[in-house]
Amino acid sequence: MKVKVKSIFAVGSTVHLAKESKTNMHAFVDLPEGATVLDLLERLPSIGPREQFDDIMINVFVNGRLCGFDHPLSPGDEIDIHIPVSGG
């Protein structure tokens, strides 16, 4: 199944997966049926290993709703990944 990752800027080296549109950048990622948000994150190399992230460090929105890592994905889902940053 394919899902659309809309916020590829947040996941660094996955830019090579991107397709440019007129309004934003996005990537399509192939996942097996029954995949979860965690399965998607583990496919994105710049997110890092599983031990280095948790629900607090990475906010994942599926079709506009904040979801946990155990949320099952469906074909055509649109995913936004937000990694909090700080600074001045």
In the chain, the number of structural domains is 1
Q: What is the pLDDT of residues 8-49, one digit of tens each?
A: 655 555 555 555 444 556 788 899 999 999 999 888 766 767
Q: Is residue 37 part of a domain?
A: yes
Domain around 26: 2-82
**Cα of 63 vs its chain's centroid, Å:** 12
Q: Any idea what the CATH number is for the domain that residue 47 is in? A: 3.10.20.30
Residue range 49-71: average pLDDT?
A: 83
Q: Residue 22: its pLDDT value, please? A: 46
Q: Is residue 8 part of a domain?
A: yes
Q: Is residue 21 part of a domain?
A: yes
Q: What is the pLDDT of residues 65-86, one digit of tens each?
A: 999 999 999 999 999 988 777 7
Q: Residue 7: its pLDDT value, please? A: 74
Beta-carbon contacts of 68 under 8 Å, excluding residues fewer than 6 positions away, are 37, 55
